[in-house]
């Protein structure tokens, strides 16, 4: 009798533990990451380090990319987006609102969410300090950053 009760108790405790750890895991995915997915940033960007894949590109986005300034710039993988110490949350907010430039270019997409969401997303972007994924194709000419800094 006591034996079966204690088994029941153990099983119960285990169950509580399991469901608890599940909740923690769900909360561990940061709000910024959710916003990133919800705002379809994945149409152009992957974040390899977080196993966030770029969505299958549909036409139209391609056109938009090609049209700006004539020069086509591929959207970078954002695994290491937060590594640049000059790019803090405030910088990302401006960048996403097309108020800030990188090498004379503005971002492709203006952020459509609320100011709070912009803040959450920007702060989250600063946490992306992983190693950038290795380029798979070594074929094409790669422009090395020139040393005119």
Three-class secondary structure of residue 31 per DSSP: helix
Asked if 87 contacts 96 with a C-beta cutoff of 8 angstroms, the reply is no
Whichever of 13 and 53 has its CB closer to ligand HEC, that residue is 53
H/E run at residue 9: helix 2-28
Closest approach, Cβ 140 to ligand HEC, in A, equals 17
Closest approach, Cβ 136 to ligand HEC, in A, equals 19
Closest approach, Cβ 144 to ligand HEC, in A, equals 15
Binding residues vs ligand HEC (CB under 6 A): 36, 39, 41, 43-45, 61, 64-65, 73, 75-76, 78, 81, 84, 87, 92, 95-96, 102, 105, 107-109, 111, 121, 125
Phi–psi pair at 105, nearest 5 degrees: -110, 140
The residue number with the shortest CB distance to ligand HEC is 41
Closest approach, Cβ 40 to ligand HEC, in A, equals 6
Whichever of 22 and 98 has its CB closer to ligand HEC, that residue is 98
Whichever of 43 and 50 has its CB closer to ligand HEC, that residue is 43
Q: Which residues contact 105 (CB under 8 A, 6 or more apart)?
A: 68, 69, 73
* Short-list 30, 50, 57, CA closest to 133: 50
Q: With the CA atoms of 103, 76, 26 and 35 taken in that order, what torsion angle do they form, in degrees rounded to the nearest 10?
A: 50
């Amino acid at each position: 009798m006591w034996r079966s009760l204690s088994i029941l108790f153990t099983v119960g405790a285990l169950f509580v533990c399991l469901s608890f750890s599940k909740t923690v895991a769900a909360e561990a995915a940061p709000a910024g990451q959710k916003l990133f997915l919800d705002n379809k940033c994945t149409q152009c960007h992957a974040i390899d380090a977080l196993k966030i894949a770029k969505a299958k590109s549909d036409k139209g986005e391609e056109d938009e990319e090609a049209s700006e300034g004539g020069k086509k710039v591929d959207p970078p993988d954002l695994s290491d987006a937060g590594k640049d110490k000059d790019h803090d949350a405030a910088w990302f907010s401006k960048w996403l609102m097309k108020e800030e430039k990188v090498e004379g270019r503005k971002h492709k997409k203006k952020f459509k969410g609320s100011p709070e969401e912009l803040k959450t997303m920007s702060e989250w972007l600063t946490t992306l300090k992983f190693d950038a994924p290795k380029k798979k194709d070594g074929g094409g000419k790669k422009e090395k950053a020139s040393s005119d800094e």
